[in-house]
Amino acid sequence: MMQLGPHAAFIVTAYAAAIAIVAALVAWIVLDQRHLARLLEEFEARGVARRSGRADGEKW
């Protein structure tokens, strides 16, 4: 087991804070992506298409 000495609480809190910040960032980007993909699919279903059109193999 790793020995963190008398300042273990500071070390553990620092790592926990770093993990929480990265987790929040990843969650925000993933949720944002899902939200935008859903909106684009809804537009697609309603027959709204971009004027520039889609490239080969492009979903939207």
Partner 1 sequence: MSLIQLANPSRFLAVSGRALPWLSAATVLVFAIGIIQIYFAPDDYQQGATVKIMFIHVPAAWLGIFGWLLMSAAALGTLVWRHPLADMAGKAAAPIGSAFTLMCLVTGSLWGRPMWGTYWVWDARLTSVLVLFLMYLGVIALWRTIEDPTQAARAAAVLTLVGAINVPIIKFSVDWWNTLHQPASVLRLGGSTIHPAILVPLIVMAIAFTLLFLTLHLAAMRNEIMRRRVRSMMMLQAAAPAES
- Site residues (vs partner 1, CB under 8 A): 2-8, 10-11, 13-15, 17-18, 21-22, 24-26, 28-30, 32-33, 36-37, 39-40, 43, 46, 48-51, 54-55, 57-58, 60
Least Cα distance to 37 among 29, 25, 57, 55 occurs for 29
Tell me how far, at minimum, the Cβ of 31 lies from partner 1, in Å.
10
Tell me how far, at minimum, the Cβ of 33 lies from partner 1, in Å.
5
Contact call for residues 37 and 57 (beta carbons, < 8 A): no
Q: What are phi and psi of 46, to 5 degrees?
A: -85, 0
